[in-house]
Amino acid sequence: MNGKINVTVWNEYRHELQHETCRKAYPQGIHVAVGEALLEDGAFDVNYAWLDKDAEHGLSQELLDKTDVLFWWGHMAHGEVKDEIVDRVQKRVQEGMGLVVLHSGHKSKIFMRMLGTTCNLKWREVGEKERIWNIEPAHPIAAGLPEHFELPHTEMYGERFDIPTPKDVVFITWYEGGEVFRSGVTFERGYGRIFYFAPGHETFPIFYDKNIRKVLVNAAKWAAPRIVREIPCPCVKPLEEIKTKLEE
Ligand code: ZN
Protein backbone atom coordinates (compact mmCIF):
# COMPACT_ATOMS: atom_id res chain seq x y z
CA MET A 1 0.00 0.00 0.00
CA ASN A 2 1.52 3.28 -1.09
CA GLY A 3 -1.61 5.41 -1.07
CA LYS A 4 -1.95 5.25 -4.83
CA ILE A 5 -5.11 4.25 -6.70
CA ASN A 6 -4.69 0.85 -8.37
CA VAL A 7 -5.93 1.00 -11.94
CA THR A 8 -6.14 -1.91 -14.36
CA VAL A 9 -6.46 -0.85 -17.99
CA TRP A 10 -8.11 -3.63 -20.01
CA ASN A 11 -7.86 -3.44 -23.78
CA GLU A 12 -9.10 -5.94 -26.33
CA TYR A 13 -5.77 -5.32 -28.16
CA ARG A 14 -6.66 -6.85 -31.52
CA HIS A 15 -6.98 -3.80 -33.81
CA GLU A 16 -3.47 -2.58 -33.00
CA LEU A 17 -1.96 -5.99 -33.79
CA GLN A 18 -3.97 -6.53 -36.98
CA HIS A 19 -4.33 -3.10 -38.60
CA GLU A 20 -1.49 -0.81 -39.65
CA THR A 21 -3.53 2.42 -39.17
CA CYS A 22 -4.26 1.48 -35.55
CA ARG A 23 -0.66 0.46 -34.91
CA LYS A 24 0.43 3.87 -36.22
CA ALA A 25 -1.95 5.64 -33.82
CA TYR A 26 -1.14 3.35 -30.87
CA PRO A 27 2.19 1.55 -31.41
CA GLN A 28 2.12 -0.05 -27.93
CA GLY A 29 -1.65 -0.46 -27.80
CA ILE A 30 -4.49 1.75 -26.62
CA HIS A 31 -4.05 0.41 -23.07
CA VAL A 32 -0.54 1.82 -22.82
CA ALA A 33 -1.66 5.27 -24.07
CA VAL A 34 -4.41 5.32 -21.43
CA GLY A 35 -2.07 3.99 -18.75
CA GLU A 36 0.60 6.59 -19.52
CA ALA A 37 -1.95 9.37 -19.15
CA LEU A 38 -2.68 8.07 -15.65
CA LEU A 39 0.97 7.48 -14.72
CA GLU A 40 1.82 11.05 -15.77
CA ASP A 41 -0.53 12.29 -13.06
CA GLY A 42 1.29 10.41 -10.32
CA ALA A 43 -1.78 9.32 -8.33
CA PHE A 44 -2.00 5.83 -9.81
CA ASP A 45 -0.37 2.45 -10.06
CA VAL A 46 -1.28 0.90 -13.41
CA ASN A 47 -1.61 -2.72 -14.52
CA TYR A 48 -2.45 -3.82 -18.04
CA ALA A 49 -4.65 -6.70 -19.16
CA TRP A 50 -5.97 -7.74 -22.57
CA LEU A 51 -8.20 -10.32 -24.20
CA ASP A 52 -5.49 -12.79 -25.25
CA LYS A 53 -3.16 -12.24 -22.28
CA ASP A 54 -4.18 -15.57 -20.71
CA ALA A 55 -7.22 -17.83 -20.29
CA GLU A 56 -8.83 -15.24 -17.99
CA HIS A 57 -8.19 -12.29 -20.35
CA GLY A 58 -5.64 -11.12 -17.78
CA LEU A 59 -8.39 -10.54 -15.21
CA SER A 60 -7.63 -13.00 -12.42
CA GLN A 61 -9.66 -12.74 -9.24
CA GLU A 62 -6.44 -11.80 -7.48
CA LEU A 63 -5.85 -8.83 -9.81
CA LEU A 64 -9.46 -7.68 -9.63
CA ASP A 65 -9.40 -7.88 -5.83
CA LYS A 66 -6.60 -5.31 -5.74
CA THR A 67 -8.00 -3.18 -8.58
CA ASP A 68 -9.67 0.07 -7.50
CA VAL A 69 -10.69 1.18 -11.00
CA LEU A 70 -10.96 -0.92 -14.17
CA PHE A 71 -10.76 0.79 -17.57
CA TRP A 72 -12.32 -1.08 -20.51
CA TRP A 73 -11.70 -0.64 -24.25
CA GLY A 74 -13.07 -3.26 -26.65
CA HIS A 75 -14.61 -3.40 -30.11
CA MET A 76 -14.21 -6.31 -32.53
CA ALA A 77 -14.24 -9.22 -30.10
CA HIS A 78 -16.80 -8.37 -27.41
CA GLY A 79 -18.32 -11.84 -27.90
CA GLU A 80 -15.04 -13.56 -27.03
CA VAL A 81 -15.02 -12.23 -23.48
CA LYS A 82 -16.00 -15.18 -21.29
CA ASP A 83 -19.21 -14.83 -19.33
CA GLU A 84 -17.50 -16.07 -16.16
CA ILE A 85 -15.09 -13.13 -16.36
CA VAL A 86 -17.99 -10.73 -16.94
CA ASP A 87 -19.67 -12.23 -13.83
CA ARG A 88 -16.46 -11.66 -11.87
CA VAL A 89 -16.11 -8.02 -12.97
CA GLN A 90 -19.80 -7.28 -12.37
CA LYS A 91 -19.62 -8.61 -8.79
CA ARG A 92 -16.51 -6.57 -8.09
CA VAL A 93 -18.17 -3.38 -9.42
CA GLN A 94 -21.25 -4.02 -7.29
CA GLU A 95 -18.94 -4.37 -4.28
CA GLY A 96 -17.28 -1.01 -4.94
CA MET A 97 -14.70 -1.15 -7.77
CA GLY A 98 -14.92 1.71 -10.26
CA LEU A 99 -15.46 0.99 -13.97
CA VAL A 100 -14.54 3.38 -16.78
CA VAL A 101 -15.81 2.24 -20.18
CA LEU A 102 -14.31 3.88 -23.24
CA HIS A 103 -15.67 4.44 -26.76
CA SER A 104 -16.73 1.17 -28.47
CA GLY A 105 -16.88 -0.47 -25.05
CA HIS A 106 -20.51 0.70 -25.17
CA LYS A 107 -21.30 -2.72 -26.71
CA SER A 108 -19.07 -4.72 -24.33
CA LYS A 109 -20.69 -7.51 -22.34
CA ILE A 110 -19.74 -5.86 -19.06
CA PHE A 111 -21.26 -2.45 -19.93
CA MET A 112 -24.50 -3.95 -21.27
CA ARG A 113 -24.64 -6.22 -18.21
CA MET A 114 -24.23 -3.30 -15.80
CA LEU A 115 -26.79 -1.13 -17.61
CA GLY A 116 -29.34 -3.71 -18.76
CA THR A 117 -30.12 -1.95 -22.05
CA THR A 118 -28.98 -2.45 -25.67
CA CYS A 119 -26.50 0.48 -25.43
CA ASN A 120 -27.07 0.96 -29.17
CA LEU A 121 -26.33 4.27 -30.88
CA LYS A 122 -25.87 5.80 -34.34
CA TRP A 123 -22.35 5.84 -35.78
CA ARG A 124 -20.35 7.09 -38.76
CA GLU A 125 -16.64 6.81 -39.43
CA VAL A 126 -15.49 9.64 -41.72
CA GLY A 127 -13.05 11.48 -39.42
CA GLU A 128 -15.23 14.53 -38.81
CA LYS A 129 -14.67 17.18 -36.12
CA GLU A 130 -16.10 16.74 -32.60
CA ARG A 131 -16.81 19.48 -30.06
CA ILE A 132 -17.17 18.27 -26.47
CA TRP A 133 -19.19 20.53 -24.16
CA ASN A 134 -18.44 20.46 -20.45
CA ILE A 135 -21.95 20.98 -19.09
CA GLU A 136 -21.21 20.15 -15.42
CA PRO A 137 -18.05 22.14 -14.61
CA ALA A 138 -18.53 21.47 -10.87
CA HIS A 139 -18.41 17.69 -11.42
CA PRO A 140 -15.09 16.08 -10.36
CA ILE A 141 -14.73 14.48 -13.82
CA ALA A 142 -14.86 17.95 -15.43
CA ALA A 143 -12.27 19.51 -13.08
CA GLY A 144 -9.80 21.76 -14.89
CA LEU A 145 -11.45 21.37 -18.28
CA PRO A 146 -12.56 24.26 -20.49
CA GLU A 147 -16.20 24.95 -21.32
CA HIS A 148 -15.67 23.12 -24.60
CA PHE A 149 -12.84 21.54 -26.53
CA GLU A 150 -12.45 19.96 -29.92
CA LEU A 151 -11.05 16.83 -31.51
CA PRO A 152 -10.07 17.39 -35.16
CA HIS A 153 -10.98 13.85 -36.24
CA THR A 154 -13.36 11.45 -34.56
CA GLU A 155 -15.88 8.70 -35.11
CA MET A 156 -19.45 10.00 -34.75
CA TYR A 157 -21.56 8.40 -32.03
CA GLY A 158 -25.07 9.87 -32.15
CA GLU A 159 -28.29 9.84 -30.18
CA ARG A 160 -30.38 8.11 -29.34
CA PHE A 161 -27.98 6.27 -27.07
CA ASP A 162 -30.01 3.47 -25.50
CA ILE A 163 -28.86 3.71 -21.88
CA PRO A 164 -30.81 4.09 -18.64
CA THR A 165 -31.13 7.69 -17.44
CA PRO A 166 -27.60 8.48 -16.23
CA LYS A 167 -26.84 9.75 -12.73
CA ASP A 168 -24.90 12.66 -14.25
CA VAL A 169 -24.42 13.84 -17.82
CA VAL A 170 -21.02 15.54 -17.63
CA PHE A 171 -20.27 16.02 -21.34
CA ILE A 172 -22.39 16.50 -24.44
CA THR A 173 -20.80 16.27 -27.87
CA TRP A 174 -21.63 18.05 -31.11
CA TYR A 175 -20.37 16.55 -34.37
CA GLU A 176 -19.61 18.32 -37.62
CA GLY A 177 -22.29 16.22 -39.35
CA GLY A 178 -24.98 17.62 -37.04
CA GLU A 179 -25.62 14.86 -34.48
CA VAL A 180 -25.30 15.23 -30.72
CA PHE A 181 -24.40 12.67 -28.05
CA ARG A 182 -24.29 12.29 -24.27
CA SER A 183 -20.55 11.61 -24.46
CA GLY A 184 -19.70 11.51 -20.75
CA VAL A 185 -22.21 9.86 -18.42
CA THR A 186 -22.11 8.34 -14.94
CA PHE A 187 -23.98 5.52 -13.23
CA GLU A 188 -23.88 3.77 -9.88
CA ARG A 189 -24.44 0.07 -9.46
CA GLY A 190 -24.23 -1.34 -5.98
CA TYR A 191 -21.33 0.51 -4.32
CA GLY A 192 -19.49 0.92 -7.61
CA ARG A 193 -19.27 3.99 -9.81
CA ILE A 194 -19.33 3.73 -13.60
CA PHE A 195 -18.26 6.36 -16.15
CA TYR A 196 -18.75 6.00 -19.88
CA PHE A 197 -16.72 8.27 -22.18
CA ALA A 198 -17.39 8.20 -25.92
CA PRO A 199 -14.17 9.52 -27.58
CA GLY A 200 -11.42 7.01 -28.37
CA HIS A 201 -11.66 5.52 -31.86
CA GLU A 202 -8.72 3.22 -32.60
CA THR A 203 -7.39 5.02 -35.71
CA PHE A 204 -7.25 8.54 -34.24
CA PRO A 205 -4.67 9.64 -31.62
CA ILE A 206 -7.46 10.79 -29.27
CA PHE A 207 -5.94 9.30 -26.11
CA TYR A 208 -2.90 11.60 -26.53
CA ASP A 209 -5.07 14.75 -26.45
CA LYS A 210 -4.38 16.71 -23.26
CA ASN A 211 -8.04 17.38 -22.45
CA ILE A 212 -8.98 13.75 -23.04
CA ARG A 213 -6.11 12.66 -20.77
CA LYS A 214 -7.40 15.04 -18.10
CA VAL A 215 -10.82 13.38 -18.33
CA LEU A 216 -9.20 9.92 -17.93
CA VAL A 217 -7.32 11.04 -14.81
CA ASN A 218 -10.38 12.76 -13.31
CA ALA A 219 -12.57 9.74 -14.06
CA ALA A 220 -10.14 7.33 -12.40
CA LYS A 221 -10.05 9.49 -9.26
CA TRP A 222 -13.84 9.89 -9.19
CA ALA A 223 -14.48 6.17 -9.72
CA ALA A 224 -12.08 5.00 -6.99
CA PRO A 225 -13.96 3.02 -4.32
CA ARG A 226 -15.46 4.80 -1.32
CA ILE A 227 -16.16 1.46 0.36
CA VAL A 228 -15.60 -2.10 -0.80
CA ARG A 229 -18.08 -4.50 0.69
CA GLU A 230 -19.97 -7.64 -0.25
CA ILE A 231 -23.70 -7.21 -0.68
CA PRO A 232 -25.44 -10.05 1.20
CA CYS A 233 -29.14 -10.90 1.31
CA PRO A 234 -29.60 -12.03 4.94
CA CYS A 235 -32.66 -13.12 6.93
CA VAL A 236 -32.32 -11.11 10.18
CA LYS A 237 -33.60 -11.18 13.75
CA PRO A 238 -35.62 -8.09 14.84
CA LEU A 239 -33.85 -5.33 16.79
CA GLU A 240 -36.89 -4.81 19.04
CA GLU A 241 -39.41 -7.25 20.43
CA ILE A 242 -42.24 -7.59 17.94
CA LYS A 243 -45.62 -7.66 19.72
CA THR A 244 -47.80 -7.92 16.68
CA LYS A 245 -49.21 -11.43 16.43
CA LEU A 246 -50.57 -13.07 13.35
CA GLU A 247 -54.26 -13.77 13.79
CA GLU A 248 -55.18 -17.47 14.18
ZN1 ZN B 1 -14.57 3.41 -33.07
Residue 74 alpha carbon to ligand 1 centre in Å: 9
CA gap 152, 204 in Å, rounded? 9
Task: For residue 2, report the distance from its CA to the centre of ligand 1, in Å.
Answer: 36
CA 25 / ligand 1 centre spacing (Å): 13
Torsion of CA 99, 159, 165, 222, to 10 degrees: 30
Chain-centroid distance of CA 176 in Å reads 25
Question: Is it the case that residue 1 has pLDDT exceeding 80?
Answer: no
Q: Measured in angstroms, how far is the CA atom of residue 203 from the centroid of ligand 1?
A: 8
| Residue-wise pLDDT tens digits, 42-101 | 999 999 999 999 999 999 999 999 999 999 999 999 999 999 999 999 999 999 999 999
**pTM of the full predicted structure?**
0.97
Contact between residue 158 and residue 59 where contact means Cβ atoms under 8 Å apart:
no
DSSP notation for 142-196: GTT--SEEEEEEEEEEESPP--PPPSEEEEEEEETTS-EEEEEEEEEETTEEEEE
Residue 147's pLDDT is 98
Per DSSP, 103 falls in state G
Distance between Cα 51 and ligand 1 center (Å): 18
The Å distance, Cα 121 to ligand 1 centre, comes to: 12
| Separation of alpha carbons 70 and 81, rounded Å | 15
Q: Which residue type does 119 have?
A: C
Average pLDDT over residues 170-189: 98
C-alpha distance from residue 15 to each of 18, 49, 86, 104 (Å) = 5, 15, 21, 12
Q: pLDDT for 126-143, tens place per residue?
A: 999 999 999 999 999 999
Distance CA 248, CA 242 (A): 17
pLDDT in tens, 186-221: 999 999 999 999 999 999 999 999 999 999 999 999
Ligand 1 center to 198 CA (angstroms) = 9
Query: How far is ligand 1, taken at its centre, from the CA of residue 55, in Å?
Result: 26
How far is the centre of ligand 1, averaged over its atoms, from the C-alpha of 154 (Å)? 8
Is 110 in contact with 72 (CB distance < 8 Å)? Answer: yes
CA nearest 220: which of 33, 68, 103?
A: 68
Question: Cα(236) to centroid of ligand 1, in Å?
Answer: 49
For residue 53, give every residue at least 6 positions away whose Cβ sits within 8 Å of its Cβ, in sequence order, or none: none
Among 194, 38, 39, 197, which Cα is nearest to 132's? Answer: 197
Q: How far is the CA of 243 from the centre of ligand 1 (A)?
A: 62
Average pLDDT on 18-23 reads 95
Q: What pLDDT is recorded for position 248?
A: 76
In the reported structure, the alpha carbon of residue 57 is separated from the centroid of ligand 1 by a whole-number distance in angstroms of 21
pLDDT of residue 247: 87
Taking the centre of ligand 1 as the mean of its atom positions, its distance from the CA of residue 201, in whole angstroms, is 4
How far, in Å, from the CA of 124 to the mean position of ligand 1? 9
Q: What DSSP character marks residue 169? A: E
Burial zone of 125 (CB within 10 Å; 0-12 exposed, 13-18 middle, 19+ buried): exposed
* Ligand 1 centre distance from Cα of residue 238 (Å): 54
Using CA of residue 14, residue 116, residue 160, residue 147, what is the dihedral sign?
A: negative
Helix and strand counts by DSSP (H, E) for the chain: 7, 9
